[in-house]
Amino acid sequence: MNYIERQITQQRRKKLIKKGAFVLLLIVLLGFAILGIFSLFDPIAGADVSVIRIEGTIITGEAHSGGYIGSEYVGARIRKAADDPLTRAIVLRIDSGGGTPAAAQEIIRDILYAKMKKPVVVSMGDTATSGAYYVAAYADRIYSSYDTMTGGLGVIWIFYDTSDQLEKDGLAIDVVKSGEMKDMTYSYRGLTSEEEGMAQDLVDASFNRFYTDISTQRNVSRELIEDARLIRGEQALLIGLVDEIGNLQDAIDGAREMARLR
């Protein structure tokens, strides 16, 4: 092989190496692209349905551990899914005994925002009572199991009176306050009759708002739920608190179908 032939051969080798490197780079990039696409898919629902979990006591804030779930944490995920062009429907998986009315009301605002853009469906787990049902009522459709515990639709305010124990322990508490009722929630004394009446008025007003909001979404008689009893999913279906018996996958399939029809 003469000098010219060796040069040609070397050039060909360089071209082949460059082509091989280019092909390898394309393969690597394609792999990353495929991984990126699959990362968009929820392992349960897929890319087109976003499953957002509401598990634990509902409070305001960003909590999402220790048995609490924050309205800001949930709301941010609802709005993110609502704004995501790849998400066609949202499923809220609820397993909660309720929480504060204010926290439920904050989440409801985010649900209303999402519903303007795509279907929102609820799947109830073991429990979806009180404030958790308050949230669920605003979904386009509610699924529960036969023995899901729901209902419990009411407002409660608990006061503790440890004054007898403090007296036995020989402890005295001096209080300086600007108003007679400023310390009505403290446990070192019981409520006066006037405070009991005021507390009842506040609880009744909160329940009236609770029921009024729910009744705008669900056609359910106040007489059927105002005793705040727990209701099995099977009975809840009969009185209109839920729409269908089914599990999480049923809710996902239903949400997907609603999105297709919409």
Dig out the tokens for 115 from the structure: 């519903």
Report which of residues 31 and 198 the model is more confident about: 198
In angstroms, the CA 127 to CA 56 distance is: 10
Is pLDDT at 112 greater than 60 in this prediction?
yes
**DSSP label at 46?**
B
H/E stretch holding 207 reads: helix 193-215
Q: Give pTM, 2 decimals.
A: 0.81
User: Which of the residues are catalytic?
Assistant: 130, 182
Q: Computed from CA positions of residues 173, 174, 180, 181, in that sequence, does the dihedral angle turn out positive or negative?
A: negative
- Tell me what the mean pLDDT of segment 7-31 comes to: 57
Q: Are 141 and 257 in contact (CB under 8 A)?
A: no
In angstroms, the CA 88 to CA 102 distance is: 28
Q: What pLDDT is recorded for position 194?
A: 96
Burial annotation 16-48 (CB, 10 A radius, 16+ → b, else e): eeeeeeeeeeeeeeeeeeeeeeeeeeeeebeeb
> 44: closest CA among 250, 259, 258?
250
**DSSP label at 42?**
B
- Tell me what the mean pLDDT of segment 16-21 comes to: 58
Domains along the chain with CATH numbers: 49-152+229-261 (3.90.226.10), 155-220 (no CATH)
Q: What pLDDT is recorded for position 218?
A: 95
List CB contacts of 127: < 8 A, sequence separation 6 or more. Answer: 95, 96, 97, 148, 149, 150
pLDDT digits (tens, 9 = 90+) for 215-262: 999 999 999 999 999 999 999 999 999 999 999 999 999 999 999 998
H/E stretch holding 143 reads: strand 141-144
Single-letter amino acid, residue 137: A
Q: What is the mean pLDDT of the chain?
A: 89
Query: pLDDT exceeding 70 applies to what percent of the chain?
Result: 82
Is pLDDT at 38 greater than 50 in this prediction?
no
